[in-house]
Amino acid sequence: MAATLQFSGVNCDRIVGLSFALAAGEIRVLRAGTKEEKFAVIELAIGERIAEAGTVALNGAPLDAAPHGSLGWVPDNGGLISNLKTWENVTLPLWYHGKRRAADTEGRIAEWLARLGLEGEAAERFMASPSGLLTKLERKRAGLLRGLVLAPQVLVVDAALFDGVAQDIKAAWAAALDALVRGAEGGSVLVVAEGSAALPWTNIE
Amino acid sequence: MFSREKTPPPAAQPDAPRVMGERLWGGQLRVAWEAFCRLPALGKWPVRQVLLKQLYFTGIESAATIGLVGFLVGLIVITELNNLVGGNEAVTNKVMIWVVVRELAPLIAAIVMVGRSSSAFASELSTMVINGEVKSLRCMGISPLSYLIMPRVLGMMLAGIALAFYCQIVAVGTGWVVTALRHNILLRDEVFSFFETISYHEIAATVLKSAIFGALVAIVSAYHGLRSKTAMTEVPQAVSQAVIRSLLAVFMADGVITVLMY
C-alpha cells in the first residue's frame, strides 16, 4: 500500500529524527511524551510548522504542494470560530477549499451526524447553534464533524478529543473515523496522543 | 524520537521609539499589501460571505446614524450660510460643495466607521487571536488574511464610499430644502445650479477620499487586532489603539489628499 503521509528524519524544536509512514486506509496512533511534542507533531503533519531538518511529504510531494483541503485537523476542543454558527464552522474548510458543492453538503453532514449519534431536531438545533453557546462535548463533536465532512486524504486527530467523553460516544466517534478510512475516498487518520491513553488503534512504533 | 532539551528563548531586542514607529507603519503597510494580494480569494464563497456581512454591518447598519448626522450638518451649515450670504444660490451651492461634499461628508462617514466598525473589528480580531481561532484557521489551511482581513478592508472601502455619498445627498438635500423655504427660491433652480457648479474632479476626489478612509480604518484596526497575543486584557488596549490611530490616519490622509488634489 502506498504511503500517504511520510515523515523522514524530521527534526523540529523537541522532535529529533522522527520517521514514519501512514498508508491510505490506515488509522494509527503516534504517541508523544508531552503536550508540546504532541502539538509539534500535529503542526508538522498539517503544514503549520516547517521541519528544521528532514521532510514531511503527502503522496511523495512536500506539504506545500498538496492540493487544498487534502489535510484535515481535529483539535481537542473543536477549534471553532466563535462568530460563526455550527453549520458555518463545519462547512468553512469544505467550501473555502472548494471541495464540494452546497447541494452535496447537506446530505453528507446529515449522514455523518447520524453516525455521531445525532439526528432529527437535535441535529438541526446543534447545527443552527452559534458556536459560542455549545457545550465542551458539542464543540468537540463539531470539530470532529468538520474533519469528517471535509474527508481529507489525511485527517490529523488530537487524541485529547476523546478525553472526558462517555464510552458510548467515544465508541461512536471511533467508529466514524473507521468509516472515514473505509469510505470511497480512502483517506487515512493519524491520531496523535500524549502518554499512554487507551485508544482502539495500533501505535506507530 | 522526542528530545527533552529546551530551546533557549530569543535574545531581547532593544525597542527604541524610532524602531517601534517604523515597525508600526511598516506593519500596517504590510497588512495593506498582503490584503491587496489576496483579492482573488473573493472567488471563495466563505470570503464573499464575510464581505457581505461587513457591508451589512458597516454600511446598512450605519445608514440611520449617517442620515441623522448628515441632516444636522446640512441644517447647521446652511443656516450659517444663509445668515452670511442670504438667498444667493450660486454662493450657497459653492460653499456646500467645498465644505459638505468635498470635506465633511467623507470625514463624517469615516468617523462613524471608526466609532462602529473599527472598535468592533479590532476587538473581534484581538479576541480571535487570544482564543486561538486565528491559529485554528491556519491549521485548516485557511489564510486569516484572505478570510478575515481582505474582505473587511474591501467591505469598509465600499461602505465608506456609499456612506459618504448618502451623507452628501442628505446634507445637500437638507440645505436645498431649508434655503428654498427660507428664501422662497425654487428647489429646481438650486438643483440645476448645484450640478452646474460641481465638477467631475470633485466627485472623483470624494470617492477616492472615502475609499481611502475606509481602507485606512480597516487596515489600522486589523493591525492592532492582530497584534494581541495571549491575555484578554490586551483586547481593550487593541480597541483604543485602533480607534485613536484610525482617526489619526483618516485626518492625516484627508490633509494629504486635499493638498494634493485641490
* pLDDT above 80 (res B6): no
pLDDT of amino acid A195: 78
* pLDDT above 60 (res A84): yes
B241 vs chain A: nearest CA distance in angstroms? 23
Say which of B47, B124, B139 has its CB closest to residue A48.
Answer: B139
pLDDT digits (tens, 9 = 90+) for B10-46: 444 444 444 555 566 678 888 888 888 889 999 999 9
What is the band of B4 on the pLDDT scale with cuts at 50, 70, 90? very low
Q: Which chain B residue is nearest to residue A80, measuring alpha carbons?
A: B133
Name the residue with cell 499589501.
Answer: B33
Q: Count structural domains, chain A.
A: 1
pLDDT digits (tens, 9 = 90+) for A123-172: 999 999 999 899 999 999 999 999 999 999 999 999 999 999 999 999 99
Residue A139 lies in a domain: yes
More confident residue, B215 or B17: B215
Contacts of A106 (CB under 8 A, 6+ apart): none
State the cell numbers at B220. Answer: 489600522
pLDDT of amino acid B16: 45
B165 vs chain A: nearest CA distance in angstroms? 30
Tell me whether residues B140 and A98 touch, CB distance under 8 A. no
Residue A203 lies in a domain: no
A to B CB pairs, distance under 8 Å = 75
CATH label of the domain that carries residue A85: 3.40.50.300
Specify the long-range contacts of residues A174-177, CB closer than 8 Å, at least 24 apart.
A174/A199, A174/A200, A174/A201, A175/A115, A176/A112, A176/A115, A176/A116, A176/A144, A176/A148, A177/A27, A177/A148
pLDDT of amino acid B13: 44
Residue A161 lies in a domain: yes
Mutate to test the interface with B, among A15, A80, A81 (most CBs of B within 10 A): A81
Residue A199 lies in a domain: no
B28/B224 Cα distance (integer angstroms) = 9
ipTM for this prediction: 0.89
Chain A residues near residue B135 by CB distance under 8 angstroms:
48
Tell me whether residues B128 and A16 touch, CB distance under 8 A. no
Strand order in the sheet with A3-12: A15-23, A3-12, A53-58, A61-62
Q: List the domain boundaries for chain B.
A: 28-261
Tell me whether residues B140 and A79 touch, CB distance under 8 A. yes
Residue A61 lies in a domain: yes
Mutate to test the interface with B, among A96, A104, A139, A158 (most CBs of B within 10 A): A96
In chain B, the percentage of residues whose pLDDT exceeds 70 is 90
pLDDT of amino acid A2: 59
Q: Which chain A residue is nearest to residue B8, measuring alpha carbons?
A: A13
Of A96-110, A156-170, B151-165, which gets the smallest average pLDDT?
Answer: A96-110
| Binding-site residues on chain B for chain A (CB distance < 8 A) | 1-5, 7, 44-47, 49, 124, 127-128, 131-133, 135-142, 147
Average pLDDT, chain B: 88
In chain A, the percentage of residues whose pLDDT exceeds 90 is 63
Tell me whether residues B140 and A73 touch, CB distance under 8 A. yes
More confident residue, A23 or B21: A23
pLDDT of amino acid B11: 41
The dihedrals phi and psi of A103, each to the nearest 5 degrees, come to -60, -35
B43/B78 Cα distance (integer angstroms) = 46
More confident residue, A200 or B52: B52
Chain B residues near residue A82 by CB distance under 8 angstroms:
127-128, 131, 133
Q: Please give the model's pTM, rounded to 2 decimal places.
A: 0.86
pLDDT digits (tens, 9 = 90+) for B60-113: 999 999 999 999 999 999 999 988 887 788 888 898 999 999 999 999 999 999
* pLDDT above 60 (res B8): no
Say which of A33, A71, A81 has its CB closest to residue B141.
Answer: A71
Residue A165 lies in a domain: yes
Owning domain of residue A161 = 3-194
What is the band of B153 on the pLDDT scale with cuts at 50, 70, 90? very high
The dihedrals phi and psi of A164, each to the nearest 5 degrees, come to 70, 15
| Average pLDDT of span B127-139 | 93
B128 vs chain A: nearest CA distance in angstroms? 8
pLDDT of amino acid A116: 93
State the cell numbers at A7. Answer: 515523515
pLDDT of amino acid A142: 96
